[in-house]
């Protein structure tokens, strides 16, 4: 299966999926030191985001989420990619700033529907095609 996504920030990735089942803010919801979901009561609490394609059905807004993502990128513990179901003006800023600073970046994509599950492996092309591998 291949899905064409809208590209908010281009890049490639091939990694295992971590699908979040509830909304999350990176600010207070992801520990920048451990890269684990820390939001109390979140179904994926304790899961590491490092190196995984993170599927975000919804975000809890916080302008500081981009700073947490930037910290993860700088530390080399960021997700391999972000796939969201709606455009977000805040979270991708962390990726844009990382690119401006010459740090590693990740693809940020938007799809209408999340069709992958935790444990699936996906490949993301520069042009926004997402394929199951």
- How many Å is the Cα radius of gyration of the chain? 13
Three-state SS for 83? strand
For this structure, is 62 an active site residue?
yes
Cα angle: 41, vertex 118, 112; to 5 degrees: 95
Distance from C-alpha of 75 to C-alpha of 6, rounded to nearest angstrom: 27
Out of 25, 62, 66, 132, which one is annotated catalytic? Answer: 62
**In degrees rounded to 5, what are phi and psi of residue 31?**
-80, 120
Q: Which residues are catalytic?
A: 62
């Amino acid at each position: 299966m291949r899905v064409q996504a809208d590209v908010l920030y281009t890049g490639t990735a091939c990694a295992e999926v971590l699908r979040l089942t509830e909304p999350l803010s990176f600010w207070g919801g992801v520990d920048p030191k451990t890269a684990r979901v820390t939001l109390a009561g979140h179904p994926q609490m304790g899961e590491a985001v490092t190196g995984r394609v993170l599927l975000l059905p919804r975000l809890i807004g916080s302008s500081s989420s981009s700073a947490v993502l930037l910290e993860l990128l700088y530390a080399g513990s960021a997700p391999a990619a972000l796939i969201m179901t709606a455009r977000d003006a805040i979270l991708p800023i962390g990726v844009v700033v990382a690119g401006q600073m010459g740090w590693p970046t990740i693809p940020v994509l938007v799809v209408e529907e999340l069709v992958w599950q935790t444990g699936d492996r996906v490949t993301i092309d520069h042009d926004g095609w997402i394929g199951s591998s």
